[in-house]
Each structure stands twice: as structure tokens, then as C-alpha cells.
Structure 1
């Protein structure tokens, strides 16, 4: 593709009749991949989710923009209708871009849509994106892994297809096995989730954070503990979309809040984990 917005290279061509399932990242347009930008410049139709910004959509000036967002507790398009609409557009010879917030395969229903395309003989391509559970936390100054804290991280969805806390999750196993826990779409059920984790043995004083509107100019971060999580959310007035993080890595925000540092603030604590050693010391 020859486009002045892209560096020179052999960029893939979005052919008529194809669907590209693409992650738009957690919010900041700068976190979009070059493959995603390439797709936006070629698409005839962009089927986009609620968390995709107008700025990103403006990079697809030739395309029809069709909203297909899903937000908890609000009227939303049915997944079956979205999937079949992708098939219909592809069969009409359109170059179709299905644009999802974050990564299409991380709680994004991308697998369901790809399976529908396969069943109907529609060719497709997957373009990964930066997931909010990693990129959003990084913008908040919270490393999802940190050598002094965790050698594993567990990603969990805060609600299932019914909108309730997933009944299939073994919260005791998660509580015992997850050094750091990242919960997508869990704000509505934060009290139930926190109680389940504490009932399974997680301490009430364990650090926790809520990152709302991650990576956008409206980003807000609440630092709290597992025991106070639900009450602090209620009193804060914060609204979804949000990522919850539970674990000692939250403490690293005290030294790694890079946006506050860029604004001229000083680190709150140079050694939030209490190591007593320089960071470079093994």
C-alpha cells in the first residue's frame, strides 16, 4: 500500500470480501499498530466498538463507520447480529474492518466472530492490539509483572454473558494462584469479587487499583486496598470503562507514576516495596 501516513514497506492489502479483525488498543490513538492504521486507510466499512475514539475513526476517511458497541447495562447490538453483518458486508464485496478496543482476542469476542466468518467461508486476518490490562496499567504506572512481586499474572473478566459475575470461575483457585490479578469489566461487581477473594484468603489490606478511561486524557486512577475497594469505588464517583488490579505491583505506582513525574511532581516513595536496596541490585 502506498500511503504517506505509513513508512515504506510491503504492507498487506485489504482485499474486497475480506474481514480484518483488529485491535484498536486501550484508547490513546498513538497506541494503534501500523497494521491497524494500514487497515483504516483501506477499509470500505469500519464496524467499531464503544471504546474506539473519533480520532481513530477519522483515519478511515473513505469508510462507512458503523457502531456496534457493547456497554454493560445499556442497550447493545446482539453478538449474533454483529457477526452475521460482517458476513453480509464481506459477501457484498466490501473491505471490512472490525475494530475493537484493546485486543480482539482478549475478552473481545474476536474468536466468536472469526469462527462465524470461517463457517460462512469469509476470509479474514487478525491484527492484535495492546490490551488495556497491560497498556492501561502501564499508563497508570503499574507494571503488570515486576520481578520482586510476581512471576505470574492472571487476567479475569468481571462479568459473563448474563452480565453477572462469572459463575464458572473458581475464585478460591484464583485467589491462591494469582500473585497479581487483573480484572476486566469488573467495576460493577467489585464488591462481590473482593468478598470472594477475601473469603478465599486474600488479605483485606492487599493493594488494589482502579484505572478508568485508561490511556486517554480522561484517565483516572484510584489506589486503595482489596478490603476498601468497593466502598472507595462507590464514594469516588468513578465510572466504567475500568480495569481493576489487585496485588503488590500496585505499590509501584508510588514511584512509577510517569505522568505525574512529567507534570513536575516528585515520586511519593522511591522504595515502595521496602527492599532497602537500589533497583538495580539483584
Structure 2
């Protein structure tokens, strides 16, 4: 039998008796998949690992606390033999052969009638990899092939088009702060499967170059009708392409719901009867400061952080931000879209009690190759922005956390505030 390759097959074990002999590490690794398959699982072992015991306590398996006895495999469809007793393993394997029960042996694969493939899962697809030549089995290579295939399916680098009709719709995908590696696995996979991509200027632009030639890419920043009608035009474009039966991805920077107007698009699609999936993204409000060496919270320094939009000034009637309340907080303030308004914002925070010496960091083009960090204080930030020619997109961080970590200037280190907690 060793001269012939194994025949791959998928076993449908739901409701069927499966016997596992041995409750050690092998059983601990294999049982979850058998449970997920719906098998009627019987574990025969005098002992078990804590994780296996927890499965029994939860009623996921039936545990018979004893050693193997002849007849244990009667009525079984499949058996996993993984005890530490070679004699018991051989006897159980012989019983499986007599009863024509497919049997996996953890101690001697050549004596088994079945092998467990290296498996992985990606969006309804199970990838199972077997070495075809029994004489040259290499479990590490098999697992590496499995990992490469699954990772490729997940991140979209291995594109497997759907040939059956797909349900048209829209996916609002948060692309993250700019670095293409920071998009989520699900977001990248949906991008790889798209027919149409409507992309924001702040989305991970490098990913667009990886799309197949047939994918239509629409620059949302160039959709006509003017600045204040742009969102309505984007909504119309999403609906139009989805109604043509296309798979549409709305690629947005950061997270769709963090100043991304994602809910407006979801509502427009719902009113039009278009199915929509929202894929969260890594928000620049946290990731960009982190990439510049700034933690938005830090033990003994900041117990909270607040994210606000700075696209309108504090004295603008359209502003919904309570700047007086923000000035009274002692934690971190993260301001998005506020570069051109930072002077008036700083003045307002100082007027309401925030110290002029409060550290401020501006991180431009965060997580990209063009990232740069400029440090200032509330008192100097307006002139610093002008002098250093800081331009959007930039994330502004206000608070003592700016002086924490390797990213801070050498003279910016400050002691923790008096009375701060030594442990958290």
C-alpha cells in the first residue's frame, strides 16, 4: 500500500460514531475539528489534558475513563488512535482493520488506513493537503503548503474567482491608515474579488495596483457634482454598479464609521434595497500615533483618550464638539482633519484651562513611507505647523503621552504626574 498515494476524500461525520483513543496532545489538537464536524465522539482514555477534560465537561464528547478494550471500535465510522501504549495501539488498529473502520495512527502512519491532512479554512473553503508519496512524507512541508494556500486565499494574493453566480452587493471596506499591509484579511480578500472599486484618496492606494485588469477603479475624489454633492454622487455610483450585478467594494481610509460617512452610504444602500457588508478597518486615530511611537494611553499618564474631528473650528456654528469639556480632561486628545484649524483649537483649549505647555505631536502621512512627526506644544503648535509646512493628512495628538516612548524628542521626557497610579 505504501507504493500508492492516498486517495483524498471528505468525510461527513455528522451524527456518526467516532472513537478517539488517548486523551493527550494529539487528541487535544484533533478533537475540535471532529466536534465541528458534528461527530458523535467517544473518548477512551484513563487520563486527559485539561482542555480535553473541558470538552467532556461541556458535553461535547463522551469520555470513558479507562484504557482501550477490544470491541471499543464496534459501530464506529472513523477512529483516531493516539495512546501512549504501543500494544494498545496495535490491538486497536487490528480491530479497526477487522471492522473496516478507517483508522488514523499517531504513532505509526504506515500502519494506519487513513492519514490526517494539514487543513485550513478560508470563507467556506477547506484546504486539505496530503503528501502524495508515503516514502517521502514531510509534515512540515505539508503544513507550509497549507499555510501558503490559506494565506493567499485570505489576503487576496491567491485569487480564485467564483464561477457560480454571486449575489451582487456592496462591501464598505476600511482600508486602514495607509500602509497596504494594515488592511484586514477580510478586506483584502473582498478587494481581490471585486468587479468595481470606488476608492477614497486616503485609502491604501498601493493595493489598487494589484487588482486584475478587468476591475474598474473609480476615484471617489473625482466624482463630479462639486464638493458638497460628492457624497450623494458616491451613493449613486454604489447603487448603480450594484444594480448591474457587480460586486462593488467601497474602499475607505481608516474605519468606515470613524469620520468616514460610512453610515450615510449604508443607509442609502438600504433604501435602494442593495445588500451591504461593512468590514471594519484600523482607525488612524490609534494606529498613526502608535506608528510614531505614541501610545494613546499609558499607565500613570493617561487613562482615557478622546477622538474628535477638527474639520470645523471651535467657534464655527457647525461644530458639535464641546471643547470646554475636552480642555478639562487630563487624558489624550486625538484630532483628525484639524491641521488647518489647529491654531484656533489650541487657543480654545488653553482658554478653557489646558496648559500651554501641553505636548502636541503632528504625524503626517502616518504608516506610509512619507511618514514624519513634528512636535510642539499647545502654545507653539500654530507657528510650528506653518514653519514645518505640515499638511494633511495628519493626525494630531495632544497630551502627556506625546512625551512617552522612543518616538519622543530627547528633551521631551517628563515624569509621571503626581499621584499617578504605579500599577494598572
State the TM-score, normalizing by the size of structure 2: 0.57
Which of 161, 182, 192 aligns to 1:31? It is: 182
- What is the CA RMSD across the aligned residues, in angstroms? 2.8
For structure 1, the 5+ residue unaligned runs are 259-266
Aligned partners of 1:159 and 1:166 also within 8 Å: no
CA distance in 2, matches of 1:41, 1:8: 9
1:60 equivalent in structure 2: 211
Deviation at 1:165, TM superposition (A): 8.2
3-state SS of the aligned residue for 2:395?
strand
What is the 5 A alignment of 1:147-226? 147-160=299-312, 166-177=318-329, 179-226=331-378
Structure 2 counterpart of 1:18, from 169, 177, 183: 169
Residues 38/91 of structure 1: CA separation in 2 closer, same or farther (3 Å cut): same
Cα deviation for residue 5 of structure 1 reads: 7.6
For residues 182 and 166 of structure 1, the distance between their equivalents in structure 2, rounded to whole angstroms, comes to 20
Taking structure 1 as reference, are residues 15 and 208 closer, same or farther at Cα in structure 2, changes over 3 Å only? farther
Return the offset for 1:7. Answer: 4.9
Matched, 1:239 2:239: no
Question: Does structure 2 retain, via aligned residues, the 8 Å contact 1:6–1:38?
Answer: no
Q: Give the equivalent residue in structure 2 for 1:256.
A: 406
Cα displacement string for residues 229-267 of structure 1 (whole angstroms, at most 9, x for unaligned residues) = 111001101211111110000001xx3339xxxxxxxx8
Asked if residue 126 in structure 1 is aligned to residue 278 in structure 2, the reply is: yes
Of 189, 193, 197, which aligns to 1:42?
Answer: 193
2:151 is paired with a residue whose SS is coil
Name the structure 2 match of 1:261.
none
Task: Tell me the CA shift for residue 274 of structure 1.
Answer: 1.9
User: Which digits, 9 at most, give the CA deviation of each residue in 1:117-146, with x for residues without a partner?
Assistant: 111111011111111111111110000111
**In 1, Cα distance between equivalents of 2:229 and 2:407:** 37
Q: Which has the larger radius of gyration?
A: 2
- Give how far 1:272 is off: 2.5
Q: In structure 2, which of residues 272, 287, 301 is the aligned counterpart of residue 135 of structure 1? A: 287
1:36, 1:127 within 8 Å by CA — same for their partners in 2?
A: yes
- Following the alignment from structure 2 to structure 1, what is the Cα–Cα distance between the partners of residues 312 and 416? 39
Instruction: Give ranges in structure 2 of 5+ residues lacking alignment.
Output: 1-122, 126-147, 157-161
- Give 1:59 shift: 2.9
Which one scores higher on RCO, CA 8 angstroms, separation ≥ 6? 1
Given that residues 158 and 165 in structure 1 are in contact (C-alpha distance below 8 angstroms), is that contact kept between their aligned partners in structure 2? no
Counterpart CA distance in 2 for 1:207 and 1:230 is: 13
Deviation at 1:160, TM superposition (A): 4.8
